[in-house]
């Protein structure tokens, strides 16, 4: 309906005929709001832990209009969200919508459907609340039992949150791949459907693995995450989570656990992280918040809403951490490289320059470790012997010299076509002068003199490679600022 009112003829022509094309006295004007261009489907599960995701809503919308999802996005939502000159935004917008960005797309969909609470179908409210790093998983996940039980199937928002592994209702593990072809489901395909596989068109709900471990922490995590999302939507957009209460509770947990170390070990994070959070300098990720709540055996929402007493906290066993942290895994993988790589692992989090550089080194090492080699005890011993020097260098920011030396040695072995063994790495290191670079000697001597005579370490005459010089400049600028 184009106009916002309709004209109704009055039925008084039983005896006398009336002309309806002109006679306004025989008509009444009744106000009716304009009709929505898209069907105003009511989002499922609003205000509950089972709220629908925006992506699922759009899939249902496309189905209601009997058009493809991509067509709906490209020809209807896209022009309104981005204007008429949009080009081919098909893939881009699908990806963005899948991830539920709280940009112009949601406003466009709200305008088209005349629905007002579509923002709650995304992680937008949680992100607005600075519940840091709440993000979507890379691919879609689903619980076949929920989908089969639904009268009109829809995907829940909580399934799409990164780190959620179980269905909060059925407690079974969420599926991420098609049971027939094993393909992961994402939104970049032309054929996205709630039930069918985007690749082989098979029914993704054909198999249900109902077996589950009731003590699996993943179930608890999923249920708590669902509650947290609901709680986040109850706050105004832009409001901050009450982290003061969380910090106070963190201190209570600290008291109950008897220090940060056991807790850090259980969570698989360095104890220093707690210091940052405690001081309010950083905000833990959602995953970490869930892990802390799990270890302390408390509700996540309680951790934000009220100050807990020590008696309410029951620290779980150390080995009951929810999942092994990434850093721990990496250390296991490259344990043969010893202390140096452990240091690198810590350093990788600090600065983009270092991160790029160290990643490069780690890639080299990973390649060498994944190939059938053994960096055996001999190499480790020699490296340990070298650690004293490394520590000295590290104290003065010259750890990179050693990294370069190690990298040069390994690359030298690789380029010679020999097996990357400890003996070969060591031999080539000496041969290529990696360990005995005149520059390194200079550094060592300068360091010694600095320690003895308190002379400045950085001599402009010192020849350093450009990347090291860039690093030094960066450090100097940081210190200066």
Partner 1 sequence: MQTNTALINVQPLHRWVIQHSHLSAVCDWLIDHIMAFNEPVILLVVGATGTGKSTLLKILRKRLDALLAESMRCDTSRLASVAAETFFVPGRGPDWRCLFHDLLTDANDILVDRKVIDGTNRAGSTLPALHSACIKMIRHRRPAAVLLDEGGALVEAGTKGALAKNLSFLKSISNRSACHLVVLGDYSLVKLGSMNGQLNRRCITVHLSPYANNEAEDFSKIVSGFQYRLRDSGVECDLSNSNGLLLERSCGCVGLLARWLSEALIHSRRNHSPLNDDALRKTMAPDGAFKVWQMEINRGITALREFEGVRN
Alpha carbon 164 to its chain centroid, in Å, reads 11
Nearer to partner 1, 32 or 251 (CB): 32
CA torsion 344→345→350→355, rounded to 10°?
70
- Measured between alpha carbons, how far is 307 from 255 in angstroms, rounded to an integer? 14
Distance of closest approach, residue 200 Cβ to partner 1, in angstroms: 12
Q: Which stretch binds partner 1 (CB under 8 A): 26-34, 301-309, 368-376, 420-428?
A: 26-34
Residues 38-77 within binding reach of partner 1 (CB under 8 A):
38-41, 63-68, 71-72, 75-76
Q: Which residues contact 131 (CB under 8 A, 6 or more apart)?
A: 228, 232, 241, 283, 286, 289
CB-wise, 20 or 436, nearer to partner 1? Answer: 20
Q: Which is nearer to partner 1, 68 or 316 (CB)?
A: 68
The smaller minimum CB distance to partner 1, of residues 51 and 72, is found at 72
Across 246-273, b (16+ Cβ under 10 Å) vs e yields bebbbebbbebbeebeebbebbbbbeee
Q: Nearer Cβ to partner 1, position 191 or 371? A: 191
Binding map of partner 1 across residues 360-379, x = CB under 8 A, - = no contact: --------------------
Binding mask 114-133 for partner 1 (x = CB under 8 A): x-------------------
**Sole binder of partner 1 in the list 24, 25, 31, 438 (CB under 8 A):** 31
Nearest Cα neighbor of 429 from 407, 398, 452 is 407
Supply the minimum distance, in Å, between the C-beta of residue 144 and partner 1: 18
Give the closest residue to 347 by CA, choosing from 369, 329, 327, 366: 327
Q: What is the DSSP letter of 130?
A: T
Q: How far is the CB of 35 from partner 1 (least distance, A)?
A: 6
C-alpha closest to that of 115 among 155, 58, 48, 49: 58
State whether residue 454 is helix, strand or coil.
coil
Region near partner 1 per CB under 8 A, out of 20-28, 80-88, 206-214, 296-304 = 20-28
Site for partner 1 contains 259 (CB under 8 A): no
Tell me how many residues contact partner 1 (CB under 8 A).
Answer: 48
Q: Using alpha carbons, list the distances in angstroms from residue 59 to 41, 52, 64, 140.
A: 11, 11, 9, 13
Where does this chain touch partner 1 (CB under 8 A) — which range of 90-98, 187-195, 316-324, 417-425? 187-195
Q: Which of 17, 83, 84, 460 binds partner 1 (CB under 8 A)?
A: 17
Strand partners, 173: 166
Q: Would you give the binding string for partner 1 spanning residues 287-316, x where CB under 8 A is met?
A: ------------------------------
Residue 63 or 312: the one with the smaller Cβ distance to partner 1 is: 63
Contact 396, 447 (CB under 8 A): yes
Q: From the CB of 191, what's the least distance to partner 1, in Å?
A: 5
Give the residue, chosen from 28, 200, 239, 309, that forms a contact with partner 1 under the rule CB under 8 A. Answer: 28
Angle among Cα 108, 109, 115 to the nearest 5 degrees reads: 120
- Residues 195 to 224: which contact partner 1 by CB under 8 A? 196, 201
Place of tokens 């202390």: 339
Return the SS3 of 211: coil
The window from 9-17, 372-380, 418-426, 471-479 that contacts partner 1 (CB under 8 A) reads 9-17
The structure tokens listed for 373 are 């080699």
Q: Which is nearer to partner 1, 28 or 148 (CB)?
A: 28
The answer to whether 93 touches 77, Cβ cutoff 8 Å, is yes
Find the shortest distance in angstroms from Cβ 39 to partner 1: 4
Rounded (10°) CA dihedral 147, 149, 151, 153 = 0
DSSP three-state, residue 391: helix
Residue from 53, 56, 93, 113 touching partner 1 (CB under 8 A): that is 113
Q: How far is the CB of 67 from partner 1 (least distance, A)?
A: 5
Neighbours of 61 (CB within 10 A): 21
DSSP letter (8 states) at residue 203: B
Q: 70-109: which residues touch partner 1 (CB under 8 A)?
A: 71-72, 75-76
Query: Which residues, in sequence order, are bridge partners of residue 184?
Result: 177
Site for partner 1, rule CB under 8 A? 1, 6-9, 11, 13-22, 26-28, 30-41, 63-68, 71-72, 75-76, 113-114, 190-191, 193, 196, 201
């Amino acid at each position: 309906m184009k106009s916002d009112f309709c004209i109704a003829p009055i039925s008084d022509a039983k005896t006398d005929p009336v002309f309806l094309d002109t006679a306004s006295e025989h008509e009444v004007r009744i106000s009716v709001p304009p009709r929505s261009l898209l069907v105003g489907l009511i989002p499922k599960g609003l205000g509950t832990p089972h709220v629908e995701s925006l992506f699922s809503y759009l899939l249902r919308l496309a189905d209601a209009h009997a058009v493809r999802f991509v067509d709906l996005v490209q020809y209807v939502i896209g022009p309104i969200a981005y204007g008429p000159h949009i080009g081919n935004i098909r893939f881009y917008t699908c990806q963005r919508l899948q991830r539920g960005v709280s940009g112009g797309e949601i406003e466009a969909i709200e305008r088209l459907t005349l629905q007002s609470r579509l923002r709650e179908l995304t992680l937008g409210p949680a992100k607005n609340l600075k519940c840091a790093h709440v993000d979507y998983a890379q691919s879609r996940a689903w619980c076949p039992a929920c989908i089969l039980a639904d009268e009109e199937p829809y995907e829940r928002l909580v399934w799409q949150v990164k780190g959620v592994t179980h269905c909060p209702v059925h407690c079974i593990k969420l599926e991420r791949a098609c049971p027939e072809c094993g393909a992961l489901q994402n939104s970049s395909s032309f054929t996205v459907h709630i039930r069918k596989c985007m690749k082989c068109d098979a029914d993704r709900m054909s198999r249900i693995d109902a077996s589950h471990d009731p003590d699996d922490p993943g179930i608890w995590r999923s249920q708590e995450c669902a509650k947290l999302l609901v709680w986040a939507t109850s706050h105004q957009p832009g409001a901050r989570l009450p982290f003061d209460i969380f910090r106070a509770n963190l201190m209570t947990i600290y008291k109950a656990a008897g220090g940060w170390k056991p807790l850090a070990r259980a969570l698989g994070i360095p104890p220093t992280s707690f210091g940052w959070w405690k001081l309010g300098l950083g905000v833990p990720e959602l995953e970490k918040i869930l892990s802390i709540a799990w270890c302390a055996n408390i509700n996540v929402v309680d951790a934000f809403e009220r100050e807990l007493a020590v008696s309410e906290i029951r620290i779980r066993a150390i080995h009951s951490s929810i999942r092994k942290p990434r850093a721990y895994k990496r250390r296991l993988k490259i344990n043969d490289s010893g202390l140096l790589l452990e240091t690198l692992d810590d350093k990788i989090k600090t600065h983009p320059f270092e991160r790029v550089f160290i990643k490069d080194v780690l890639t080299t090492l990973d390649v060498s470790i994944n190939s059938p080699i053994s960096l055996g005890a001999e190499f480790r011993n020699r490296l340990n012997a070298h650690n004293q020097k490394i520590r000295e260098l590290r104290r003065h920011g010259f750890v990179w010299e050693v990294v370069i030396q190690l990298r040069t040695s390994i690359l030298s072995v690789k380029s010679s076509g020999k097996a990357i063994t400890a003996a070969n790495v060591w031999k080539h290191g000496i041969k290529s002068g990696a360990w005995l670079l005149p520059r390194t000697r200079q550094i060592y001597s300068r360091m010694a003199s600095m320690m003895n005579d308190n002379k400045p370490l950085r001599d402009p005459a010192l020849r350093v490679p450009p990347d090291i010089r860039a690093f030094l400049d960066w450090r100097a600028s940081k210190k200066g600022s």
